[in-house]
């Protein structure tokens, strides 16, 4: 922390430096410090201004979100149902770890775009899926369909997806949020 004070003494500002302070009862508290030099009219540094913000609630919220994410990932792996999101405004497609496993694609090999999603669907189904997803958004209706997917080993797989439109601040559909499951073993039983 001495380096932080010498940086401010040299005339520079520091925003949101995280550290801990210890209360008189010995309990450590995470704080975010913002520091700025206090300079007079001639440019002489007279001292510094320090604003400390208790970020305990923020840290607790982050830990809670991390725990929820871990539980969700575990639940998806146990149920073999993955989740996905398509944001029409940005074209971004986000998949959970389980949805990547269902499609047998490493997350680093997936570009995260609508087109990269369509590229993983069998050519026999891709136009039908593209049209259904687009119509679901434009008509603000739920989506429920199956498509064939072929992995790198050329093993056919049937994936069932269900989704609901996501709404923007104006109430109009701006994408889809859904789940998917490998139903290959069940596909021949319909």
- Integer CA distances (angstroms), 130 to 2, 102, 104, 133, 189, in order: 58, 19, 20, 5, 25
**Token match 């609901």: residue?**
164
What is the predicted pLDDT for the residue at 147?
95
Q: What are the pLDDT tens digits along the chain (190 aa)?
A: 677 778 887 888 888 889 898 989 999 999 998 888 888 888 888 888 889 899 989 988 888 888 877 887 777 777 789 999 999 989 999 999 999 989 988 999 999 999 999 999 999 999 999 999 999 999 999 999 999 987 666 677 899 999 999 998 898 899 999 999 998 887 654 4
What is the predicted pLDDT for the residue at 134?
94
Alpha helices for the chain (secondary structure H) = 2-9, 56-79, 97-102, 114-119, 126-138, 184-187
């Amino acid at each position: 922390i001495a380096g932080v004070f010498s940086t401010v003494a040299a005339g520079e500002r520091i925003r949101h430096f995280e550290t801990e302070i210890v209360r008189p009862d010995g309990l450590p508290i995470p704080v975010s410090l913002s520091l700025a030099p206090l300079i007079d009219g001639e440019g002489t540094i007279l001292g510094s201004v320090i604003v400390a913000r208790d970020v305990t609630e923020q840290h607790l919220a982050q830990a809670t979100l991390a725990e929820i994410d871990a539980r969700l990932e575990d639940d998806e792996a146990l149920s073999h149902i993955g989740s996905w999101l398509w944001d029409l405004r940005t074209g971004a497609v986000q998949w959970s770890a389980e949805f990547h496993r269902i499609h047998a694609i490493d997350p680093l090999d997936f570009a995260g775009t609508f087109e990269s999603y369509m590229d993983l669907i069998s050519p026999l189904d891709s136009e039908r899926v593209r049209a259904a997803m687009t119509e679901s958004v434009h008509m603000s209706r739920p989506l429920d369909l199956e498509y064939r997917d072929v992995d790198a080993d050329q093993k056919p797989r049937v994936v069932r997806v269900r989704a609901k439109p996501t709404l923007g601040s104006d109430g109009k559909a701006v994408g889809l949020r859904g789940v998917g499951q490998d139903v290959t073993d069940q596909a021949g039983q319909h």
